[in-house]
């Protein structure tokens, strides 16, 4: 992969949009019972969408410049900016520091496990949707 100014701009624009979405989610989804629901929600939605995106792109054939733009802009930029495992780590430490070690471990391990399952669910959905395409074969852009 050759780094070009266009790829940098696509990732940057995607990142701006993703972090804006995460910021909005953090203000729309309340934290209740000491569980940071907004972080959990964006990470699970992001993991699902990333699994869906990457499986969809891989099912359509070899990477082309157009697929590369989609992967980097939507995957690395948008979803990379939307999800936030650094905030997850900070929230786990805060729960631990607040004297809630069981909740901290449960939240951290549960978030990562649920994220893996969400990504897998996205991949499975993309696989099933790809198999239902007319003719069932790979599409080439």
**Residues 66, 32: Cα–Cα separation, whole Å:** 42
Cβ partners under 8 Å of residue 22, min gap 6 = 42, 81, 82, 83, 84
In sign, the C-alpha dihedral spanning 27, 30, 34, 38 is: negative
CB 77 within 8 A of CB 18: yes
31 annotated ligand binder:
no
Structure tokens at 5: 């100014």
80 annotated ligand binder:
yes
Task: Enumerate the known binding-site residues for Na(+).
Answer: 80, 83
Binding residues: 80, 83
């Amino acid at each position: 992969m050759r780094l070009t100014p266009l790829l940098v701009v696509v990732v940057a624009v995607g990142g701006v949009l993703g972090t804006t979405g995460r910021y909005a989610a953090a203000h729309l989804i309340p934290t209740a019972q000491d569980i940071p629901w907004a972080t959990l929600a964006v990470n699970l939605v992001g993991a699902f969408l990333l699994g869906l995106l990457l499986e969809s792109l891989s099912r359509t054939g070899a990477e082309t410049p157009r697929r590369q733009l989609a992967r980097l802009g939507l995957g690395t930029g948008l979803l990379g900016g939307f999800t936030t495992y650094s905030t997850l780590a900070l929230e786990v430490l805060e729960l631990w520091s607040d004297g809630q070690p069981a909740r901290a471990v449960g939240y951290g391990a549960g978030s990562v496990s649920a994220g893996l399952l969400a990504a897998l669910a996205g991949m499975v959905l993309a696989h099933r949707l790809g198999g239902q395409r007319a003719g069932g074969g790979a599409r080439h852009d």
